[in-house]
Amino acid sequence: MAARGGDAASAGSAGAWTLRHVHLSLRVAFAAGGAGRLRGSARLELCARPARGGGGERVLRLDTHRSVNVRGAALLPPPGTPRPGDPPGPDALQPLPVRTEPFASFGRALLITVPSAEQRLSLRIDYEAGGGPGVCWLAPEQTAGKQKPFMYTQGQAVLNRSFFPCFDTPSVKCTYSATVKVPEGFVAVMSATSWEKKEDNTFVFEMSHPIPSYLIALAVGDIVAADVGPRSRVWAEPCLIEAAKKEYDGVIEEFLAVGEKLFGPYVWGRYDILFMPPSFPFGGMENPCLTFVTPCLLAGDRSLADVIIHEISHSWFGNLVTNASWGEFWLNEGFTMYAQRRISTEVYGLAYTCLEAATGRALLRQHMDNTGEDHPLNKLRVVIEPGINPEDTYNETPYEKGFCFVSYLAHLVGDQSKFDAFLQAYVNRFKFQSITADDALGFFLEYFPELKEKGVDSIPGLEFSRWLDTPGWPPFLPDLSPGDALMKPAEELAELWAADGLNMEAIEGVDITAWRTYQLVYFLDQVLQKSPLPQGNVEVLSKMYPKISRSQNAELRLRWCQIILKNDLEAEYSKVKDFLHSQGKQKYTLPLYRAMWAGSEAARALAMETFSATAPQLHVNVQNYVKKILGLE
């Protein structure tokens, strides 16, 4: 599909071409103690769009990376002769001139000169990759099983240019296929609608729907699968598969079915989950058909199973309807947060969903307090200047302020069922496309002509343009008061723990055994806000609630570690160290290093000691962020 507009983060000439299909033919080789290699080719099937002027040659510009070694490019016979994926005979190849040019710190431009007479092109680019930020190689000790190495790719936002030469922009979508040969004893999985193992440990994949380059994902490791529903299975290392099956058996289908009822058909066929090694830096990555998730979700008691609702919601918002540029990331994440909370309301009720949304709002408040409300990243339509890595613009705003804006649109409609119907129509109108905020809001006003007539896009103080282009706190906040029934007891209990003399009778009168994860999280957030607590209170709290202080639930562990650090409870520093050794998720890792660095000398020493021990198991981006926090670069 053709590109929409310009993307300052891409070196590609996507506007001059329509990309129809990509085929990857790769061999994966692991190396002892370091980055392995991917060797093979990318085949691109393109149509030239009408160009101004004539001339005998035109230049195709693609995104690549300094870590990618392009060995050559050639023009292939027209698609269909031979079949895509079959190697053509050497006589059929027409070598093409290739060169690279600098572009930005996060990529280079690959220039291939092609004959302008050809309107439909099949190109093969032979290359080697493996040393770049989008291709992650883990030594056996960085995996859960600690027996075999593991590799995976992470495309979002602009990392897949180090996996294969491409138009690395969310504005371009195409179908893809792949043939991947891996060493014996390993399994390959991809974000694809079909998966087949052939002889010679070669795996064949097909994605029959058009997707942007950042959603093409590969993982290779010692992994096995278990069915957990009629269209879902979990993949994990053998030592984790039983825990994964127990945690998710029967859970995913319920979430998918509610999503379909609200937003329309689930078009991707399967919804599988791959539990990644502990160093995976994200909570989840919504690669279509195969979400990559942190093993932190395996709490042992299903207390974090609902986190997967966010990734499932991306099946409609983000994967099916995609932001055309990273400057409008709220179109992916704001709509997904809204969809996640709609599913959660149907499954868990309004009170619990409002409570979860309140924790999200607190994260947004924290972020805006840290940066200042008028920081240019605190608007929904961010201008990403040439040379700026979109990764560096990542923050809470597109998620939580985006959620508030979508909630405001629902508030304007005033009828939940009508707004649900709009979301279905929106998905149906823009499926398999990449869109801008103007497209989305234009469709909203077209769908509700009575609102357009009222001029709802220009209500003073709530103008759509203000939401998009003015940094600051959301001008409208959805009503979260249905969560009060769960929030009030948590607030009152936190007050009791913050008192100078502990009223143990009142504390013991509050039974927290039935509290679900987000009620406990909300309680701990309140305790953290009131910290440091009076001397000795945290030690008593720790003994009183082993459900919290010894929890394996990562959301609770994060808050408990933050409380330990804010109260300088050196006796429990080992819990901070253990948590940071057990996982490398960015959302958990960075706040703890910030807290240690803002703490006592002992806390700073803990930060240095922990980082020097765990740095090799962290994703390169997370390593760099921690180095910045610790002043190491």
Burial class (CB in 10 A: 0-12, 13-18, 19+), 190: buried
Measuring CA to CA, how many Å separate 216 from each of 155, 177, 572? Answer: 7, 10, 42
Q: Are 497 and 539 in contact, with CB atoms under 8 Å apart?
A: no
Q: Phi and psi for 46 in degrees, rounded to 5?
A: -125, 155
Alpha helices in 456-532 (DSSP H): 464-469, 484-498, 504-508, 517-530
Q: Which of 231, 413, 238, 439 is nearest to 322 (CA)?
A: 439
Four-CA torsion 393, 397, 399, 400, nearest 10 degrees: 170
Residues 6+ apart with CB under 8 A from 526: 490, 491, 494
| Alpha carbon 60 to its chain's center | 30
Omega into 475 within 30° of 0, i.e. cis? no
State which amino acid sits at residue 248: Y
Active-site entry in 311, 333, 400, 572:
311
Q: Which of 315, 288, 291 is nearest to 207 (CA)?
A: 288
Q: Is 311 a catalytic residue?
A: yes
Alpha helices in 315-373 (DSSP H): 330-348, 350-371
Secondary structure (H, E, C), 419-430: HHHHHHHHHHHH
Q: Which of 489, 485, 483, 479 is nearest to 523 (CA)?
A: 489
3-class SS of residue 151 = strand
How far is residue 45's CA from residue 79's CA, in Å, rounded to a whole number? 8
Alpha-carbon torsion 43, 48, 54, 58, what sign?
Answer: negative
Four-CA torsion 623, 603, 543, 498, nearest 10 degrees: -110
User: DSSP characters for 559-591?
Assistant: HHHHHHHHTT-GGGHHHHHHHHHH---HHHHHH
How far is residue 570's CA from residue 125's CA, in Å, rounded to a whole number? 56
- B/e letters for 487-525, b = 16+ CB within 10 Å, e = fewer, are bebbeebbeebbeeebeeeebeeeeeeebebbbbbbbbb
Q: Which of 583, 600, 588, 593 is nearest to 629 (CA)?
A: 593
How far is residue 475's CA from residue 478's CA, in Å, rounded to a whole number? 10
Q: What is the DSSP pairing of strand 433-435 with strand 150-153?
A: unpaired
How far is residue 31's CA from residue 572's CA, in Å, rounded to a whole number? 39
Measuring CA to CA, how many Å separate 133 from each of 67, 107, 213? Answer: 9, 10, 15
3-class SS of residue 418 = helix
Q: Phi and psi for 357 in degrees, rounded to 5?
A: -65, -30
Tally the C-alpha atoms within 13 A of residue 498's C-alpha that lie toward its C-beta.
Answer: 17
Measuring CA to CA, how many Å separate 337 from each of 171, 333, 414? Answer: 21, 6, 19
Catalytic residue numbers, as ranges: 311
